[in-house]
Amino acid sequence: MHFVRKAALVVVLPLFSLLLFGLAADIGFVRVVTHPEKIKQILNDSGVYSSVVSGLLDQAKTISGDNGGDVQLNNSLVRTAASESITPAFLKQNSETFIDSIYRWLDGKSASPDFLIDLTSVKTQFADSVAANLQQQLSGLPICPAGTNVQSFDAFNATCLPRGVTAAQAVANVKSNILNGKGFLDNPTITAKDLKSSDSNQSIFNDSLKDAPKAYQKAKSSPVVLAILTLLIAATIIFLSPTKRSGFKRVGITLLIIGVFMVIFAWGLNQATAKVLPKLKLNNVVLQEKVKVLARDIVQEVDNTYYIVGTAYAVIGVASVAGAMFLFKDGRSKSDDGQGSETSETPAANKPSPSSKPPSKRRIPIQ
């Protein structure tokens, strides 16, 4: 029986360590991912909303006009109009609406995400802003010399107007290209049904992500399940140990070691992130720095969890060891048959009193 207990301890002690690691990692993941307000705060603090428009313009580069001529999105006039029309506040509002919709779906409160992102008014405002600024720029330009090629006319960089082309006509042509062309804000109205995989006609929420709500809801409850399992394994270690004192010491020492390791791991993860993130390269240079900030903020949130959990492990571990030393005595140990055997000395009540003296023999005088 003694051998069986030792063998079982060899198994449950490493399992206890793994559960402690798993619990800390799971708490870190759930603490960030399952809280929409936390996601919103991280996105807002990263400053990504102020760079989205510039990034999209760099990515799209041009709007292909439906009546000839492209609108170059790297033009300063176009970029200014886009930034004024698609403001960070507008992007934040729509992003948070999207996030809330996704979490309602993940929590099982809706059959599919019910978000609606309507950029129609923004696209119209963008076209109007470009047209107004371009009208001001073209007004007063002289007529180009005879023989100037009308096909090569670039309204944004023009220094003269070809014969037969007015400023109003040039502006209307550019505005039509922005509203009806392809390359930027092609789909101004976006719903869950519009988000599809490249090889499917179904929404990704009804196809590749259809099981996401179940997985998400299980993930939310996983820290509680892991915590219960960890407590059960700790109780098993105490039960299998020769004495309660040694059992609590084993549990406490393991908690202390894992706690210290978690704190060191959190520090190391933070240092590694500081070295790796600067080397991160994206195709979009404008968004690159904001993505780095976003990744850093997420890692810091996880790091903070590891610091908190690691410190808690260490404190509980020290308390367990101290409690074992002061509250439990090694007076009883488990023998091979599982029964306690007395190891204490004979009770004082059964010992002869040191002050008692044997009765003296009475001498009878001889006559």
> What does the pLDDT look like over 115-129, one tens digit per residue?
998 888 999 999 999
Question: Which pLDDT score is estimated for 248?
Answer: 92
CA distance 52 to 79: 12
Instruction: Examine the domain organization and report whether 202 and 238 are in the same domain.
Output: no
Task: Name the token pair of 339.
Answer: 């029964």
- Chain mean pLDDT for the chain: 83
CA distance 133 to 80: 10
With a cut of 80, say whether residue 352 has pLDDT above it. Answer: no
Q: Give domain status of residue 204, yes or no.
A: yes
Question: Which pLDDT score is estimated for 359?
Answer: 54
Question: Which pLDDT score is estimated for 347?
Answer: 46
Instruction: Examine the domain organization and report whether 130 and 151 are in the same domain.
Output: yes
Q: Give domain status of residue 352, yes or no.
A: no
Q: Are 161 and 143 in contact (CB under 8 A)?
A: yes
Instruction: Examine the domain organization and report whether 185 and 277 are in the same domain.
Output: no
Give percent above pLDDT 90 in the chain. Answer: 32
Residues 6+ apart with CB under 8 A from 105: 111, 112, 113, 114, 205, 213
* Boundary-marking domain end, from 209, 243, 275: 209
CA distance 13 to 247: 11
Instruction: Examine the domain organization and report whether 109 and 201 are in the same domain.
Output: yes
With a cut of 80, say whether residue 356 has pLDDT above it. Answer: no
Task: Name the token pair of 173.
Answer: 């042509």
The whole-number average pLDDT for the span 65-71 is 72
The whole-number average pLDDT for the span 63-89 is 84
Question: Which pLDDT score is estimated for 324?
Answer: 87
CA distance 100 to 105: 9
Residue 70 belongs to what domain range?
Answer: 49-209
Instruction: Examine the domain organization and report whether 61 and 200 are in the same domain.
Output: yes
Task: Name the token pair of 184.
Answer: 């930027």
Q: Give domain status of residue 260, yes or no.
A: yes
Beta strand 116-118 with 189-191: parallel, antiparallel or unpaired? Answer: antiparallel
Give percent above pLDDT 70 in the chain. Answer: 86
With a cut of 90, say whether residue 103 has pLDDT above it. Answer: yes
Q: Give domain status of residue 361, yes or no.
A: no
Instruction: Examine the domain organization and report whether 53 and 201 are in the same domain.
Output: yes
Instruction: Examine the domain organization and report whether 225 and 198 are in the same domain.
Output: no
Q: Give domain status of residue 159, yes or no.
A: yes
Task: Name the token pair of 153.
Answer: 């006319």
Q: Number of folded domains in the chain? A: 2
Q: Give domain status of residue 348, yes or no.
A: no
Q: Are 126 and 56 in contact (CB under 8 A)?
A: no
Instruction: Examine the domain organization and report whether 200 and 59 are in the same domain.
Output: yes
> What does the pLDDT look like over 190-225, one tens digit per residue?
898 888 877 778 888 888 888 999 999 998 899 999
Least confident of 126-135, 240-249, 286-295: 286-295
Question: Which pLDDT score is estimated for 253?
Answer: 95
Q: Are 156 and 72 in contact (CB under 8 A)?
A: yes
Task: Name the token pair of 76.
Answer: 């300063």
Instruction: Examine the domain organization and report whether 86 and 136 are in the same domain.
Output: yes
* DSSP collapsed to 3 states, the chain: CHHHHHHHHHHHHHHHHHHHHHHHHHHHHHHHHCCHHHHHHHHHHHCHHHCHHHHHHHHHCEEECCCCCEEECCCHHHHHHHHHHCCHHHHHHHHHHHHHHHHHHHCCCCCCCCCEEECHHHHHHHHHHHHHHHHHHHCCCCECCCCCCHHHCCCCCCCCECCCCCHHHHHHHHHHHHHHCECCCCCCEEEHHHCECCCCCCECCCCCCCCHHHHHHHHHHHHHHHHHHHHHHHHHHHHHCCCHHHHHHHHHHHHHHHHHHHHHHHHHHHHHHHHHHHHCCCCCHHHHHHHHHHHHHHHHHHHHHHHHHHHHHHHHHHHHHHHHHHHCCCCEEECCCCCEEECCCCCHHHCCCCCCCCCCCCCCCCC
Q: Give domain status of residue 355, yes or no.
A: no
Instruction: Examine the domain organization and report whether 202 and 302 are in the same domain.
Output: no
> What does the pLDDT look like over 312-349, one tens digit per residue?
999 999 999 998 888 876 544 444 444 444 444 444 44
The whole-number average pLDDT for the span 144-156 is 80
Q: Give domain status of residue 108, yes or no.
A: yes
With a cut of 70, say whether residue 353 has pLDDT above it. Answer: no
